Amino acid sequence: MSRRVPVHAIAHARAGDKGDTSNVCLFVYEPRHYPALLRAVAPERLRAKFPKLLRGPIRLFELPHLHGVNLVMENALEGGVNASLNLDGHGKSWSFLLLGLEAEIED
């Protein structure tokens, strides 16, 4: 039996920036949810969910021994701290943008 929950229910995250590139690392609280996390933040899914924000290549580095991933998203900060007009020019809150996505977990 599977059900949909926010990624926030199964994982925690932190975002950082370098120029116009955002990186968000996410880790599941329970190892059994790792496959669900991988599906929830797959680069093609992120591009489809946030096409206006994520305008460049997205790389996903799997860190299976830490039950986490590191996402590196280029041209994802509206110009970054040098140019963005967003209040959050560093994209510090991109961690919680991704934690707001839905994940499908097995009970």
Residues at the site binding another protein, with contacts judged by CB under 8 A? 8, 12-14, 16-19, 21, 23, 25, 27, 49-50, 52-53, 59, 61, 63, 65-66, 68, 70, 72, 78, 81-83, 85-88, 93, 97, 100
Closest distance to another protein from the beta carbon of 21 (Å): 7
- Cα torsion 11, 51, 60, 74: sign: negative
Smallest gap from Cβ 93 to another protein, in A, equals 5
Rounded-to-integer distance, Cα 75 and Cα 51, Å: 11
Q: Determine contact, residues 20/75, Cβ cutoff 8 Å.
A: yes
CB nearer to another protein: give 35 or 64. Answer: 64
In the complex with another protein, the residue whose CB is nearer, 4 or 83, is: 83
Helices (H) and strands (E) in the chain, counts: 4, 6
